[in-house]
Amino acid sequence: MPRGHFITLEGLDGSGKTTQIKRLAAWLERRGTVPVVTRQPGGTATGDRIRALALDSRSAGLAPLTEMALMFADRAQAIAEVIEPALAAGKTVLCDRFTDSTEAYQGGGRELGSEIVLELHRLLCGNLQPDLTLLLLPSLEASLRRARRRNERAIAESGTDESRFEQEKDAFYSRVWAKYKEIAEREPERVVLIAGDLTIDEVHEQIVEAVAERLIAAAIQGDVALIGHGWFNRAIAQSLSRRGWRSSRRTFGSGPWSFIALHERKP
């Protein structure tokens, strides 16, 4: 069975990640792919307990290294319990935050640096890398305004307090924002930067374009593209046809996971 796709969404609190991951999941489902949607911190029973501790404003005074250790404990559990099994089963995983967040918030915001974050990721997470990272980076002012308003509403409606980071000063968030930009510049093949104060629909359009392009690229192996059956895969095949590929009209195997169509590049 082919390995699944691992897609992460990153950005400051208030950047619109939660809204966009829901819209992306719905877009994939309409095309026949039901993704596994998770978040960090959280996404497992253990992770939810870590999240409550790490984000609650009553957890004031956490040392930066303690904070980073909590994030990696959560992440290692999520990889073992949710992410890796889903990828091994050929599923698409959508994850709200991954190690880029730790590099931005603890490496940048807490000024621990990137090196320690990347080394811990190698040691504790097996250096698992997303196939695609969608980095939402509206203006710092807009993100902070939305994040603080959202947390005030959550406290009033449910009593859930996840505002510890929102209480940081703007200088902290300036460092986080700058580190995210640095990550995008360092890894342009993995990270798609969606910048500016765009509407929800405009951001969604850029996200689905990036995801479709990455799935098409993943299908191409040299001069052939291996495309599975199904509505969504037919859409990929049609996109390749518009780019000058042609169908060989050949299929292989007998099961739902092994039917493969070949598309060869036109001379």
Do 173 and 91 share a structural domain?
yes
Q: 224 falls in which pLDDT band (50, 70, 90)?
A: low
In a domain, 146, yes or no: yes
**Same domain for 196 and 246?**
no
- Residue 16, domain member (yes or no): yes
Output the six-digit token pair for 219. Answer: 């299908």
- The domain total for the chain is 2
Distances (CA, A) of 107 to 76, 134, 175, 183: 18, 19, 9, 11
- The single residue listed with the structure tokens 């598309």 is 263
Q: Has residue 53 been placed in a domain?
A: yes
14 and 139 housed in the same domain: yes
Domain co-membership, 194 together with 237: no
Query: Is residue 32 in a domain?
Result: yes
Query: Is residue 34 domain-shared with residue 98, that is, in the same domain?
Result: yes
Q: Is residue 179 part of a domain?
A: yes
In this predicted model, what pLDDT tens digit does every residue of 51-105 receive, in sequence order? 988 887 777 788 999 999 999 999 999 999 999 999 999 999 999 999 999 999 9
pLDDT for the residue 40: 97
**What value does the mean pLDDT take over residues 28-32?**
86
Residues 133 and 216 in one domain: yes
Residue 130 C-alpha from the chain's centroid:
7
Q: Is 87 domain-assigned?
A: yes
pLDDT digits (tens, 9 = 90+) for 149-185: 765 665 555 555 555 566 677 889 999 999 999 999 9
Q: How far apart are CA 48 and CA 161, in angstroms?
A: 13
Are 73 and 11 within one domain?
Answer: yes
147 in a structural domain: yes
Q: What CATH number is given to the structural domain containing 85?
A: 3.40.50.300
CB burial readout 27-38, b (16+ within 10 A) else e: bbeebebebbbb
Confidence of residue 36 (pLDDT cuts 50, 70, 90): very high
Same domain, 240 and 173: no
Location of structure tokens 């995008």: 184
Q: What burial letters (b/e) apply to 112-147, b meaning 16+ CB within 10 Å?
A: bebeebeebbeeebeeeebbbbbbbbbebeebbebb
Specify whether 252 is located in the same domain as 175.
Answer: no
Query: Are 228 and 135 in the same domain?
Result: no
Same domain, 85 and 200: yes
CB 130 within 8 A of CB 136: no
- Out of 24-28, 162-166, 187-191, which region has the weakest mean confidence (pLDDT)? 162-166
Q: Is residue 1 part of a domain?
A: no
Structure confidence at residue 199 (pLDDT): 93
The pair phi, psi for residue 192, each rounded to 5°, is -100, 115
Domain span at residue 262 reads: 222-267
When pLDDT is cut at 50, 70 and 90, the band that residue 246 belongs to is: low
How confident is residue 32, by pLDDT bands cut at 50, 70 and 90? confident
H or E element, residue 9: strand 6-11
Here the tokens at position 80 are 């073992």
**Residue that wins the pLDDT comparison between 264 and 115:** 115
Regarding whether 233 and 166 lie in a shared domain, the answer is no
Would you state the pLDDT for residue 221?
53
Closest listed residue to residue 33, CA positions, set 96, 94, 83: 94
- Confidence band (pLDDT; 50, 70, 90) for 237? low
Query: Which tokens is 140 given?
Result: 């710092």
Q: pLDDT category, 262, cuts 50, 70, 90?
A: very low
DSSP for 62-87 reads: --HHHHHHHHHHHHHHHIIIIIHHHH
What's the average model confidence in pLDDT over 194-198? 91
Task: Give the pLDDT confidence of 98-141 residue by residue, as tens digits.
Answer: 999 999 999 999 999 999 999 999 999 999 999 999 999 988 88
